[in-house]
């Protein structure tokens, strides 16, 4: 299968010439049908606008946060003060709060939602399946501000009066339950995020479990496995990649969630610790709290850099999740076909 | 699928392996109970949340709520008419911006685009789905609000419109792919050009699916708060000037949540109730419609 380099180059030239000729003739054909041509131009124009918007978001955020990037560099990521009076800006506590609440939420939400998905696809009586699945799906449709309203006016006060003192009394020796219970804080934010990402991870886990081939389950049952063993040794390993993708998609949602978290996280920087009772910031709550006062110049640019960071973090998580889910789709499709 | 641990009891070595069998059976039952508990917890949380918001919010749902503008802080009475009007204007603007762009991308991806450029477009549209909505708010804020020194309905509409694009685009692409190729070929055989085939045969055939996608996107942006904070701004006055700040239901809920007055905090629940009812009814309608669409499609 050795192809001489010269022929290769020739063939590329030939191909490109053929492509050029084809597209020229296509344009000529299209010019003969003005309606078609105009439609195509309009379509490409609209698609172009969307592309400009998507790329423009990245460019606008990057260029407008350039002054802070230049002035503070990587110190912006660790500096604990976001202080327009002393003209020093950083998102250290916000980065910590973003990852802390999201990690807490994902640790809690993954077992809960995989469990829910297992019940809905494997165990649930047929009559209950539709209403339960509908309720879990509807949870995803509840606007963030409604959950935040409940979290701030009902849930956080309850945590302060009842929930957190109880935790401190019984589990106070753990590093997670130290300090003064304020109600608002990492615990409230993490729990509310859990409720918000649960339906997403559940939905994707269900989709993944449904594509596991029946033959896999039947093989396991034929070996005398219980229904749980079928799930544990046939369904879950098969769907592992897809479920991980769903979890990361949920993580991306948790990292970017704004209003509900802003309402319940306290928006008061404390020295980072492992305690869930501490109040804090997330990247998005910094933006919500600061954009109103932002004066043009470094302050404005610092707010926008928080947005840029949020964009980068969520982009990376989402691309990773999508790659994993796409791979799962291919594997599943390949095996069932 | 009704095979359980009991069915292996005819095993001659039962006596020896009883402990193991028992454990497997217990683990199996425990897993059913535990996962069932999780599923029921998630469902009950939703029922509780809606129930609580309804119980708190229903007291203010009356004619005033839909016709009056908000009173001065702390005064009793007043309604959410400004917020309802503002939300309607913002959603209309978002639809005008988001639906044509989203549909164009969907048509392009399903009917016209091929090769790496189409994959690139699809990748970018997918990326849009995952970006936190506050980023779109920042985008519209930097481009429109900061230069014009004023919050405006237009900037809010732009932010919400961009949020609608990926939902509409993916829905359009998916339903256009469900349209059988026979229809395109039949249209071409009758001498219709490509654009006529798309606009007069393929898109009308997928109309209900596209409408569904648009409704889904509407429901999604109706509850958006973060991007509106920095674009629409919120105001207790009626406003039809698209270049001035404008009220919206989610904004009013957010502001009333943080209000020092009990009555405003209670009214926030009424607003949330109206919003949830709108969103849930829309997604119910969509679910019903997609069920219908898929049945007919097959």
Q: Are residues B135 and B276 in the same domain?
A: yes
Among residues B245, B253, B220, B235, which one has the least CA distance to residue B154?
B245
Instruction: Return the bridge partners of A83, or none.
Output: A88
d(CA A190, CA A109): 10
Closest to A235 (Cα-Cα) out of A221, A224, A248, A245: A221
**Model pLDDT, residue A37:** 82
**CB contact (8 A) between residue B28 and residue A259:** no
Q: What is the tens place of the pLDDT at every residue in A55-93? A: 999 999 999 998 888 888 888 888 888 888 888 888 888
The pLDDT profile of chain A, 337 residues, written as one tens digit per residue, is 455 555 555 677 787 888 888 777 777 666 667 778 888 889 999 999 999 999 999 999 999 998 888 888 888 888 888 888 888 888 888 899 999 999 999 999 999 999 999 999 988 888 888 888 888 888 888 999 999 999 999 999 999 998 888 888 888 888 888 888 888 889 999 999 999 999 999 999 998 888 888 898 899 999 988 999 999 998 998 888 889 989 998 999 999 999 999 999 988 877 777 788 888 889 999 999 888 887 778 888 889 999 999 999 999 998 888 888 777 665 544 333 2
The domain total for chain B is: 2
Rounded CA-CA distance A299/A307 in Å is 13
Q: In this structure, what DSSP letter does residue B5 have?
A: G
Model confidence band, residue B237 (pLDDT cutoffs 50, 70, 90): confident
Check CB contact under 8 Å for A119 and B47: no
* Percent of residues, chain B, with pLDDT higher than 70: 91
Quote the CA–CA distance of B297 and A101 in Å, as a whole number. Answer: 43
Tokens of B168: 């509409």
* Mean pLDDT score across all residues of chain B: 86
ipTM of the assembly? Answer: 0.85
When pLDDT is averaged across residues B150-157 and rounded to a whole number, the result is: 92
B12, pLDDT greater than 60: no
B40 has a chain A CB within 8 A of its CB:
yes
Task: Check B35 against A146: CB less than 8 A apart.
Answer: no
One domain for residues B130 and B33 = no
Task: Give residue A197's pLDDT.
Answer: 94
Percent of chain B whose predicted confidence (pLDDT) is above 90: 49
Q: Which of A254, A204, A222 is nearest to A104 (CA)?
A: A254
pLDDT at B49 over 90: yes
Contacts of A319 in chain B (CB under 8 A): 127
Q: Please give the DSSP secondary-structure letter assigned to residue A294.
A: P
CATH of the domain at B250: 1.10.3720.10
Chain A closest CA to B41's CA: distance in Å? 9
pLDDT of residue B15: 53
Task: Provide mean pLDDT across the span B28-41.
Answer: 93
Using the predicted structure, report yes or no on whether residue B281 has a pLDDT greater than 70: yes
This prediction has a pTM of 0.85
Q: Are residues B22 and B132 in the same domain?
A: no
What's the N-to-C CA distance of chain B in angstroms? 28
Q: Is the pLDDT of residue B132 over 50?
A: yes
Q: Distance, in angstroms, between B3 CA and closest chain A CA?
A: 7
Judge if B77 and B44 occupy the same domain: no
State the pLDDT at residue B296. Answer: 40
Do residue B129 and residue B41 come from a single domain?
Answer: no
Cβ–Cβ under 8 Å, residues A198 and A139: yes
Is residue B6 scored above 60 in pLDDT?
no
Please answer whether residues B154 and B143 qualify as being in contact, where contact means their C-beta atoms are separated by less than 8 angstroms. no
Cβ atoms < 10 Å from Cβ of A270: 19
> Does B229 lie at the interface with A, CB-CB under 8 angstroms?
yes
Q: Which residues of A touch B229 (CB under 8 A)?
A: 288, 291
Q: Which residues pair with B246 in a beta bridge?
A: B233
Non-local (6+) Cβ contacts of A304 within 8 A are A61, A64, A65, A68, B138, B142
Higher pLDDT, B241 or A187: A187
Helices (H), B131-261: 133-140, 146-148, 153-178, 181-189, 194-196, 203-205, 207-222, 226-229, 249-257
- B66-91 pLDDT, tens digit per residue, is 888 888 777 777 888 899 999 999 99
Find the CB nearest B35 among A54, A119, A153.
A119
Residue at token pair 């669409």: B293
CB-based contact A96:A255 (threshold 8 Å): no
Instruction: Give Cα separations from A122 to A93, A192, B43 (angstroms).
Output: 42, 27, 17
Chain B from 60 to 99: CB within 8 A of any A CB: none
Contact between B219 and B286 (Cβ < 8 Å)? yes
Boundary residue ending a domain (B25, B43, B60) = B60
* CB-CB contact of B216 with B98 (8 Å): no
Q: State whether B195 and A40 contact (CB < 8 Å).
A: yes
Query: Do the chains contact at A115 and B38, CB–CB below 8 Å?
Result: yes
| B131 plus B15 within the same structural domain | no
| Structure-token pair, residue A329 | 């789709």
Please tell me what DSSP assigns to residue B236: S
Phi-psi category of residue A84: left, alpha or beta, with phi > 0 → left and psi -120 to 50 → alpha:
alpha
Same-domain status, B273 and B155? yes
Pair (B52, B182) in one structural domain: no
What residues does each domain of chain A span? 1-32, 39-64, 75-336
Which residue, of B60, B81, B102, is where some domain finishes? B60
B279 touches chain A (CB under 8 A): yes
Kindly report, residue by residue over A167-220, the tens digit of the pLDDT: 888 888 888 888 888 888 899 999 999 999 999 999 999 988 888 888 988 999
Give the tokens for residue B233.
């701004």
pLDDT of amino acid B293 = 45
Q: Which of A54, A119, A319 sits opposite B38 (nearest CB)?
A: A119
CATH superfamily label, A75-336: MetI-like (1.10.3720.10)
Q: Where are the beta strands (DSSP E) in chain A?
A: none
B27 and A115 in contact by Cβ < 8 A? no
Q: What is the residue-wise DSSP string for A4-15? A: -HHHHHHHHHHH
- Neighboring chain A residues of B41 at a CB cutoff of 8 Å: 112
- The whole-number pLDDT of residue A322 equals 83
**Whole-number pLDDT of residue A51:** 93
Tell me the residue length of chain B: 298
Same structural domain for residues B33 and B88?
no
Selection from B18, B21, B16, B17 nearest residue B4 by Cα: B21
Domain identity same for B155 and B16: no
Q: State the residue range of the domain holding B275.
A: 63-297
B246 and B101, same structural domain? yes
Same-domain check for residues B9 and B67: no
Are the Cβ atoms of B225 and A120 closer than 8 angstroms? no
Binning pLDDT at 50, 70 and 90, where does residue B294 land? very low
């Amino acid at each position: 299968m050795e192809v001489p380099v010269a022929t290769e180059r020739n063939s590329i030239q030939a191909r490109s010439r053929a492509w050029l000729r084809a597209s020229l003739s296509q344009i000529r054909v299209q010019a003969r049908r003005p309606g078609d041509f105009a439609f195509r131009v309009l379509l490409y124009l609209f698609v172009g606008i969307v592309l400009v918007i998507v790329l423009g978001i990245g460019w606008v955020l990057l260029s407008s946060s350039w002054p802070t990037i230049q002035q503070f560099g990587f110190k912006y990521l660790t500096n604990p003060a976001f202080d327009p009076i002393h003209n020093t800006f950083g998102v250290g506590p916000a980065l910590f709060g973003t990852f802390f609440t999201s990690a807490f939420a994902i640790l809690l939400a993954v077992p809960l939602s995989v469990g829910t998905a297992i019940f809905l696809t494997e165990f649930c009586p047929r009559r209950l399946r539709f209403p339960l699945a509908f309720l879990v799906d509807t949870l995803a449709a509840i606007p963030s501000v409604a959950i935040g309203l409940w979290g701030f006016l009902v849930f956080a006060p309850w945590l302060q009066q009842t929930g957190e003192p109880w935790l401190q009394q019984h589990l106070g020796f753990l590093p997670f339950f130290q300090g003064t219970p304020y109600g608002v804080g990492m615990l409230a934010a993490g729990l509310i995020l859990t409720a918000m990402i649960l339906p997403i991870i559940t939905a994707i886990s269900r989709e993944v479990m449904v594509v596991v081939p029946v033959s896999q389950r039947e093989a396991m049952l034929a070996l005398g496995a219980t229904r749980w063993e079928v799930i544990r040794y046939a369904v879950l390993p098969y769907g592992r990649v897809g479920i991980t993708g769903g979890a990361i998609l949920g993580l991306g949602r948790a990292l970017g969630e704004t209003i509900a978290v802003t309402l319940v996280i306290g928006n008061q920087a404390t020295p980072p610790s492992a305690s869930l009772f501490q109040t804090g910031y997330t990247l998005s709550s910094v933006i919500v709290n600061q954009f109103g006062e932002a004066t043009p110049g470094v302050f404005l640019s610092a707010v926008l850099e928080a947005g840029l960071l949020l964009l980068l973090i969520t982009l990376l998580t989402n691309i990773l999740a999508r790659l994993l889910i796409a791979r799962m789709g291919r594997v599943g499709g390949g095996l069932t076909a | 699928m009704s095979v359980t641990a009991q069915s292996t009891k005819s095993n001659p070595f039962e006596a020896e392996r009883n402990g193991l069998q028992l454990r497997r059976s217990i683990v199996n039952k425990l897993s059913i109970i535990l996962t069932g508990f999780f599923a029921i917890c998630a469902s009950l949380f939703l029922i509780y949340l809606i129930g609580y918001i309804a119980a708190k919010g229903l007291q203010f749902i009356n004619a005033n709520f839909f016709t009056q503008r908000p009173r001065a802080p702390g005064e009793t009475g007043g309604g959410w008419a400004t917020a309802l009007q503002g939300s309607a204007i913002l959603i209309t603007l978002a639809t005008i911006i988001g639906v044509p762009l989203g549909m164009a991308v969907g048509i392009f991806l399903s009917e016209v685009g091929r090769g790496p450029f189409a994959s690139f477009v699809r990748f970018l549209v997918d990326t849009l789905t995952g970006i936190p909505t506050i980023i779109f708010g920042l985008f519209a804020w930097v481009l429109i609000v900061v230069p014009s020194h004023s919050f405006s309905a237009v900037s809010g509409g732009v932010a919400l419109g961009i949020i609608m694009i990926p939902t509409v685009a993916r829905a359009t692409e998916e339903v256009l792919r469900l349209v059988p190729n026979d229809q395109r070929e039949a249209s071409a055989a009758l001498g219709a050009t490509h654009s006529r085939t798309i606009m007069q045969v393929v898109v009308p055939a997928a109309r209900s699916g596209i409408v569904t996608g648009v409704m889904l996107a509407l429901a999604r942006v109706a509850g958006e708060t973060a991007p509106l904070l920095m674009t629409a701004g919120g105001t207790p006055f009626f406003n039809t000037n698209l270049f001035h700040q404008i009220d919206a239901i989610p904004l009013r809920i957010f502001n009333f949540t943080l209000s020092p007055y009990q009555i405003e905090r209670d009214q926030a629940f009424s607003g949330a109730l109206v919003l949830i009812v709108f969103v849930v009814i829309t997604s119910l309608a969509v679910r019903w419609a997609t069920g219908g669409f898929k049945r007919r499609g097959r």
